Amino acid sequence: MEAYPQSDPLVGAVLDGRYRVDAPIATGGMSTVYRGLDVRLDRPVALKVMDPRYSGDEQFLTRFQREARAVARLKDSGLVAVYDQGIDGQYPFLVMELVEGGTLRELLRERGPMPPHAAAAVLAPVLSGLAVAHRAGLVHRDVKPENVLISDDGEVKIADFGLVRAVAEAKITSTSVILGTAAYLSPEQVGTGDAGPRSDVYSVGVMAFELLTGVTPFAGDTPLTVAYQRMDNDVPPPGSVISGVPAQFDELVLRATARDPAGRYADALEMGADLEEIAEELRLPTFRVPAPRNSAQHASAVLYHSRLPDQQATTDTTVRPPAPAPPRQHTRVFTRDSGEIAYPASQFAGVDIDEFYWARQRAKRALLFWVIAVVTLAGLLAAAAWTLGSNLQNLL
């Protein structure tokens, strides 16, 4: 989806007598996402309003309602919560949790490729959310950075479960939808249209490749060219594109993106477990994923607050417009001579990489101090007990 700064006739409308449309966030080929308010609960929400052309398609509406109900039952911190769905006149809509922040796509545009510990911090909650869905028999079918949201509090969540399936089974052609996700489609989705948990795993593998390298594995003049390349070509290891990628991450990506589904992880749960083992083996530091500063959601929040009456704007302290964006900080360095990309040695997302090392060193010293203190105290108590026991007869 792209930012949607223009005026919109739906802004100010109240859908289904309950959900007020406040400001557009982004628009895509089949829907527009708005910042909204549940006037009954006085709760900010995100409203995904489908294109009016879908309102007359009963097959789409039936699938849309069924998928929304199924996703609403899922509970995981890695999933964007679905609150409600409905249709108001010619507008089918979905009511979701409003994530104040931005998308992973916007973060990649700002920061470039991520070091392994940052990539793991993004992938872990995505795989956790997908694992819950896979256990419930649901498949996302459209895993990509545009559908991964990052909150200002560092939460990572995946959105848009079921929408691609609903559109694909509608009478209206979904060619634009499929082409829009060509870079992340599994070979079986390109070849036959079939999708299962292993298809989501493939898409996560491609996304992991992009997180580590800053690029997708296949390129071409058209989306169809990109889509069909994966039928005859394997995804290369990230380490062949950028220096500094641990071999364990190369193996993770290669297994997730095997052309034969049988060679991949069975589902997101299995891939997530492998990622956790890799993080422990490499002793990757914990990392709080930063939200993108220049996001469509932040721009929408500024637009929304600019329209509030002066009195309401001065008394409402629940949401603030974002601070001005600092100068763009890159996390990749291009070596012109070699044509390779190397990770920077100093920072990611404004955080000194050395801080992770010294934090571990401080933690080790603190642990050693407490171990010595406990051993010394135990020794003193033992000596006191022995002395008391030896002189008990004299004392009595």
43 phi and psi angles, rounded to 5 deg: -125, 125
* β-pair partners for 86: 93
Whole-angstrom distance between the N-terminal and C-terminal Cα of the chain?
87
* C-beta separation of 130 from 141 below 8 A: no
Three-state DSSP state, 48: strand
Are the C-beta atoms of 40 and 14 separated by less than 8 Å? no
**Using CA of residue 271, residue 277, residue 281, residue 282, what is the dihedral sign?**
positive
95 beta partners: 47, 84
> Catalytic residue at 354?
no
Catalytic residue (choose from 57, 142, 160, 200): 142
The H-assigned helical ranges of the chain are 58-72, 104-111, 116-135, 163-168, 175-180, 187-191, 197-213, 223-232, 247-256, 268-282, 296-306, 310-315, 353-390, 392-395
Known catalytic residues? 142
